[in-house]
Amino acid sequence: MDNQRGAKTKKPVNRGVIALIGAALVAVLFLVIFLPIYFTVIRPREQQSSNEGSVSGSGPANPSSGDDPSKPVETVSGRLLRGSNGSTVTKDDGSTFIYRNEFDGFWVDDPQDPFNNDAQPNSWTPALNTSWKWGVDRIYGVNLGGLFVLEPFISPEIFQRYPEANDEFMLSEAMAADTARGGLSQIEEHYNTFITEEDIAEIAAAGLNWIRVPIGFWAVETWPGETFLVRTSWSYFLRVVKWARKYGLRVCLDLHAVPGSQNGYNHSGRLSPINFLAGPMGIANAERALYYLRVFTQFIAQPQYLDVIQAIELVNEPLAGELGVEPLNSFYTRAYEILRGITGVGNGNGPFIIISDGLQALSSWEGLLPGGDRVGVDGHPYFAFGGVNVAPIFTPAEDNLAGGTWPRQACNTWGPTFAQSRGIFGVTVGGEFSAAVNDCGLFIRGTLNPRSFHPQCPEYDAWETYNDTMKEGLQSFITASFDAIGDFFFWTWKIGPSIDGRIEAPLWSYKLGLEQGWIPRDPRESVGKCERLGATFEPFRGTFTPAQTGGDPSATIAPDYLASNPWPPTSIININAPIEFLPRYTNTAPIITLPVPIYTGAPASATEGLDGWVNDNDTEGGPAEAAECTYPDRYTPDPAFAPIGPCPVGFEVA
Ligand SMILES: *[C@@H]1O[C@H](CO)[C@@H](O)[C@H](O)[C@H]1NC(C)=O
Ligand SMILES: *[C@@H]1O[C@H](CO)[C@@H](O)[C@H](O)[C@H]1NC(C)=O
Ligand SMILES: *[C@@H]1O[C@H](CO)[C@@H](O)[C@H](O)[C@H]1NC(C)=O
Ligand SMILES: *[C@@H]1O[C@H](CO)[C@@H](O)[C@H](O)[C@H]1NC(C)=O
Ligand SMILES: CC(=O)N[C@H]1CO[C@H](CO)[C@@H](O)[C@@H]1O
């Protein structure tokens, strides 16, 4: 993307009463959510730097980088503002660690210049201040799975505290009732400790360059009956973004859980029937999802965030096989119009838009949003859930390294589909996949089936005693997967210990695999792996169209496509009434603006216009129930609910 900074001038705020109420709400939120973090964490550090007037160390006191951007530069307190391999990083709490990066990465952290994007994670990734070249630069990414949308197999100990909980909804309910153990603050404690600054530094040092960060709708708000910890993850998300900027990582914000559940899985927040684009609340729930996408986009499209949060994924894994592709096409079309309406079109105007393949073949999405500006598709290839296959992984593969049939199977299964999707659709990423070839490990299938009966689980679970052949086989499989998928985000960076103090889903942790030697220390080793295995798929050697990568500032979607994918869609599953009779929301709620951190050390110019809402022309209110309408339960509606006419008031069905 190009880097037109501060090009936007803000129009005077004219959102009227709604804005005032919204602002008041935000101010309160700000105090409640942000001050504890930014005052306890940031203020002491800054006071420290301004109190200590003497220059220590030998570096220049002037925070300019000279010719070599990676050269350490010191601030007045002796604290470094940037550094490369071997430098000392001082964290917000004053403690330090040594930055290790063997790939010429360097970090930047200047309180006077909090949006500095000079950092670079390694020599083969453009610094954040430099355009990402889609199709040229390769995504070597990991997910921060289980951080803001909790999953039993990723943080098992938390779920083991409340054995009755099968998903975050039930977990939150159980915690809230358990004030003795701190109630819902246990979730915040998890946000605060599960992923640390060292993790982000290690991700950069592992040769990686992107993170995909799943987040739930409760980062914005919850409605009555929704048990999730509300509006707390956002400030921790911004802390992750701050660290990503510091270490030079790009971020994909992934809306992983929407009201009503988009797939019914536990990792959608609630194990339940699907009520997103399905059932009597299917349209209403989707309208809330559209609103949350709008609120997130208004924030991340601000010039200060554009170069770090470079992509947004609309909804993770909506179950297209059940919902049908047509209603999803309508949803994506509406989301595209809302998002690009906020950001404008072309490089420098808001994030890349990623759509999930909905757990269907990538080719199902051919023709989606034709001519659209920066739209990509995300596939999640896993063998782990594909049934029992006991093929050994420690026997030699075609390239004489261990791996058995697995590496070549990854190349042959995923290589052609990802390559073809790049030709047919455009930018295509593998947003999730793991090193597991089976569903062994604790809670991989959720808490209801805590352990798999796969016959090889004893062998795969005992990671502490894997021999070198086993590790070589796993590494061969994972490098083949990297090569076949191309632009990838491994699922996931970290697995926490179970109540027994052990990591019990080892092949899902990039960090553990790096430490133990089944993940390559340099992910570029994967390039050419499929060829070395004799896998003969045709790689994508073409180029993307200008619109696909932001090079067409007048990219538009054909009017007939828009007309044939209307919002709301013409039909959805599991309803007993005409779709136009289903409950909808009015647009009368005050707009929620996501809070912005306080930057006390920075000049006002650095934070100019930073208020969480980039486009003041966008003044429509948020969704609210109309008093005169009946709304069934958002997750478990009465299946017999059959309205005999449209709800009479307040609807702009357009
Ligand atoms: C990186 O720093 C570590 C610790 O200071 C040092 O041992 C190592 O040799 C350095 N590596 C490179 C490539 O400079
Ligand atoms: C981008 O950052 C590099 C250091 O990585 C610096 O040398 C360069 O001047 C910066 N470019 C811009 C356009 O800010
Ligand atoms: C390595 O471990 C595997 C799986 O436990 C085992 O089957 C194999 O015989 C071992 N190989 C060596 C060389 O020890
Ligand atoms: C807001 O609307 C005005 C009038 O239509 C237009 O000139 C301006 O460019 C718009 N601003 C943004 C940020 O979209
Ligand atoms: C029933 C259900 O939704 N199970 C899912 C729970 O989440 C794990 C991953 O955390 C999935 O693998 C299961 O399919």
Chain centroid to CA 581? 35
Q: Which ligand is nearest to the CA of 302?
A: 4
Per the CB < 8 A criterion, the answer to whether 193 and 494 are in contact is: no
Nearest residue (CA) to ligand 1, atom 13: 102
pLDDT of residue 627: 86
- Cα of 469 vs centre of ligand 3, distance in Å, is 7
pLDDT of residue 537: 86
Pocket residue to mutate for ligand 1, from 85, 97, 98, most atoms within 8 A of Cβ: 85
pLDDT of residue 75: 72
Nearest residue (CA) to ligand 3, atom 14: 467
pLDDT of residue 648: 62
CA separation for the pair 441, 452 (Å, rounded): 7
> With the CA atoms of 304, 308, 311 and 317 taken in that order, what torsion angle do they form, in degrees rounded to the nearest 10?
-120
pLDDT of residue 76: 61
CA separation for the pair 267, 147 (Å, rounded): 12
| Count of all residues that appear for the chain in the document | 654
CA separation for the pair 400, 491 (Å, rounded): 27
CA-to-CA dists, residue 211 to 233, 238, 496, angstroms = 16, 13, 18
Pocket of ligand 5 (CB under 6 A): 151, 153, 265-267, 271, 444-446
Give the HSE-up count for residue 239: Cα atoms under 13 Å, Cβ half-sphere. 24
3 state SS of 335:
helix
CA separation for the pair 600, 39 (Å, rounded): 10
Task: Show the low-confidence residues of the chain (pLDDT under 50).
Answer: 1-65, 649-654
- The amino acid at residue 31 is L
pLDDT of residue 51: 25
Pick from 567, 575, 571: nearest CA to 280: 575
- Cα of 118 vs centre of ligand 2, distance in Å, is 5
Pocket residue to mutate for ligand 5, from 149, 150, 170, 267, most atoms within 8 A of Cβ: 267
pLDDT of residue 41: 29
pLDDT of residue 211: 99
What are the structure tokens assigned to 94, written together? 């004053």
Per the CB < 8 A criterion, the answer to whether 418 and 480 are in contact is: no
> Crossing angle of helices 468-485/406-424, nearest 10°?
10
Secondary structure (DSSP) of 37-87: HIIIIIHHHHHHHHH--S--SSS-SS----S-TTS-EE-TTS-EEEE-TTP
Q: Is the CB of 469 under 6 A from ligand 3?
A: yes
Q: Is the CB of 386 under 6 A from ligand 1?
A: no
pLDDT of residue 350: 98
Per the CB < 8 A criterion, the answer to whether 588 and 624 are in contact is: yes
Q: Is the CB of 95 under 6 A from ligand 4?
A: no
Q: Is the CB of 120 under 6 A from ligand 2?
A: yes
- Cα of 604 vs centre of ligand 5, distance in Å, is 46
Q: Which ligand is nearest to the CA of 505?
A: 5
Q: Is the CB of 333 under 6 A from ligand 4?
A: no
pLDDT of residue 397: 97
Pick from 282, 277, 211: nearest CA to 243: 211
